Amino acid sequence: MSKFIGASVIMFIPWVLLAGSDPSELILGATVAMVIAGIIYRNLDYAFKSGSLAGAIKFLVVYVPVFLWELVKANIDVAFRVLNPRMPINPGFVKIPTGIKGDYGRLALANSITLTPGTLSVDGDENHLYVHWIDVMGESQKERGELVSGPFEDILGGIFK
Amino acid sequence: MIIVSYILMLIGAFFYAIGGLGIYRMPDLFNRAQAGTKATTLGTLSLLLGVGVQQPSWIPKLLLIAVFIAVTNPVGSSTLARAGYHSGVPIYEGTQVDDLKELYKKEDGLDE
Amino acid sequence: MMNAFVFTLVGLGLFFSLLRLLTGPTPFDRVLSLDTMNIIISGSIVLIALIFNNALYLDIAIVYAVLAFLETIVFARYLEGRS
């Protein structure tokens, strides 16, 4: 049942964004979303828990502004590196520890790392992420992990556990 | 209002140009992926915001495009970088550390 | 007038990624520049929607972005499996 509700809501929101809030469109969208959710919900592994809504609000209010600010900083950094004729880069692949489990938390963390200054997540295993860093700093794994994913580790850890 | 919109659109287009230039100038696949992904993501967000300022009734659809691109663009280049490392594309000789090597050595050992 | 400046910068981005597409030493570089070009093109479709004042182009931009993502993933998987 929780899978069914989750799938319907996830299909209904893009429909509202696409088709507008005309009543007939809303009824059609809700009907189609529920029919499709009824067909496919057994094959999903997403469950709509009671904490999901609070998590989504927290995600929007706490995570998104930090993310956008980091994205702007990352782009100014990239612009300076690309426009500088000598191209000051010092790249390397580093291994950083992470405490976040679960697919969605991992996806959010990897995407945040890719869009923050100078880093691109390449691969991961159980407890680590492998990151390409354009300007390697720090010595130990822990120090590097703090520098790369520090601000996001706490926020996402609070949302996805 | 229209001036704000054009400033946002110019910023977006400027970052598109930076992204293209980064793709062209950087020395290896991974550095190129970094420059390309970050610059085009912020470029798209800024450009869509500029369009949304001029046409407020389009904001829901623009929001959908923005969220979609912000989620999928990093996934695409991460997948590409991982595939590239797997099949051994040349890595820039100035690369300092390579922690990834041990992971793949282990995996290759299991395969044999 | 301002549109000309915006499209000049967009065109510069497209031009440099096209150069990388033509010269890229490995297939991965070509796919990466194709991915960048696709994102830039879906942004310019939104600009065209603004200039022609026609919201239908936004739907085209959404579909283009979806197909561009699928294309990148499929190419990455294919090239990874081939070597």
Give per-residue pLDDT as tens, B31-72. Answer: 888 888 888 999 999 999 999 998 888 888 899 999 899 889
> Residue B8: closest CA among chain C residues belongs to which residue?
C6
When CB atoms are compared, the residue of B16, B55, B79 closest to C40 is: B16
Q: What is the pLDDT of residue A116?
A: 79
Q: C residues 1-40 near B, CB within 8 Å?
A: 2, 5-10, 12-17, 19-20, 25-26, 28-29, 31-33, 35-36, 39-40
- To the nearest whole Å, the CA of B107 is away from the closest chain C CA by 15
Residue B41 structure tokens: 């993501």
Per-residue pLDDT band for B96 (boundaries 50, 70, 90) equals low
Q: What percent of chain A has pLDDT over 70?
A: 84
**Phi, psi (rounded to 5 degrees) for C82:** -75, -35
Q: Is the pLDDT of residue C67 over 90?
A: yes
What is the distance between the alpha carbons of residues A117 and A78, in angstroms, rounded to a whole number? 8
- Interface confidence, given as ipTM, is 0.87
Q: Is the pLDDT of residue A41 over 50?
A: yes
What is the distance between the alpha carbons of residues A103 and A100, in angstroms, rounded to a whole number? 9
**Phi, psi (rounded to 5 degrees) for A139:** -110, -55
Give per-residue pLDDT as tens, A43-94. Answer: 777 666 666 777 778 778 888 888 888 888 888 888 888 888 777 777 788 8
Q: What is the mean pLDDT of residues B3-24?
A: 90
| pLDDT, averaged across chain A | 79
Q: Does residue B52 sit in helix, strand or coil?
A: helix
Q: Is the pLDDT of residue B109 over 70?
A: no
- To the nearest whole Å, the CA of A49 is away from the closest chain B CA by 23
When CB atoms are compared, the residue of C13, C32, C58 closest to B80 is: C32
Q: Does residue A123 sit in helix, strand or coil?
A: strand
What is the distance between the alpha carbons of residues C28 and A39, in angstroms, rounded to a whole number? 38
Per-residue pLDDT band for C83 (boundaries 50, 70, 90) equals low
Q: What is the pLDDT of residue C40?
A: 92
What is the distance between the alpha carbons of residues A87 and A94, in angstroms, rounded to a whole number? 21
Per-residue pLDDT band for B110 (boundaries 50, 70, 90) equals very low
What is the distance between the alpha carbons of residues C7 and B4, in angstroms, rounded to a whole number? 17
| pLDDT, averaged across chain C | 89
Give per-residue pLDDT as tens, C14-25. Answer: 999 899 889 878
pTM of the model: 0.86
The alpha-helical segments, DSSP class H, found in chain A are 2-19, 23-40, 51-58, 64-83, 103-114, 141-160
**Phi, psi (rounded to 5 degrees) for A117:** -50, 120
Q: What is the pLDDT of residue B111?
A: 44
Nearest to A112 by CA among A143, A157, A147, A153: A153
Q: How many residues does chain B have?
A: 112
Which subunits have 3 or more CB–CB pairs within 8 Å of chain A? B
* Partners of residue A78 in chain B, C-beta under 8 Å: 18, 22, 34-35, 38-39
B28 is in which domain, residue-wise?
2-111
Lowest mean pLDDT among A129-143, B92-106, C29-43: B92-106
CB atoms within 10 A of CB B57: 9
**DSSP run (H or E) holding B34:** helix B29-54
* Partners of residue A121 in chain B, C-beta under 8 Å: 74, 78
Give per-residue pLDDT as tens, A136-161. Answer: 776 666 667 667 666 777 777 767 65
**Phi, psi (rounded to 5 degrees) for A50:** -70, -25
Nearest to B71 by CA among A118, C22, A59, A134: A59
Q: What is the pLDDT of residue B104?
A: 66
Q: What percent of chain A has pLDDT over 90?
A: 0
Q: What is the pLDDT of residue A135?
A: 76
B27 touches chain A (CB under 8 A): yes
Q: What is the pLDDT of residue B112?
A: 34
Q: What is the pLDDT of residue A99?
A: 74
B58 touches chain A (CB under 8 A): no
- To the nearest whole Å, the CA of B59 is away from the closest chain A CA by 9
**Optimal mutation site among B2, B5, B11, B23, interface C, most CBs of chain C within 10 A:** B23
Q: Which residues contact C43 (CB under 8 A, 6 or more apart)?
A: B12, B16, B40, B43, B44, B47, B48, C10, C61
Calculate the alpha carbon distances from A100 to A91, A109, A110, A128 in Å: 25, 8, 11, 9
Calculate ∠ Cα C48-C54-C60, nearest 5°: 65
Q: What is the pLDDT of residue C37?
A: 92
Per-residue pLDDT band for A127 (boundaries 50, 70, 90) equals confident
Count: domains in chain B: 1
Q: What is the pLDDT of residue B49?
A: 92
User: How many B×C Cβ pairs under 8 Å?
Assistant: 167
Nearest to A157 by CA among A94, A95, A113, A102: A102
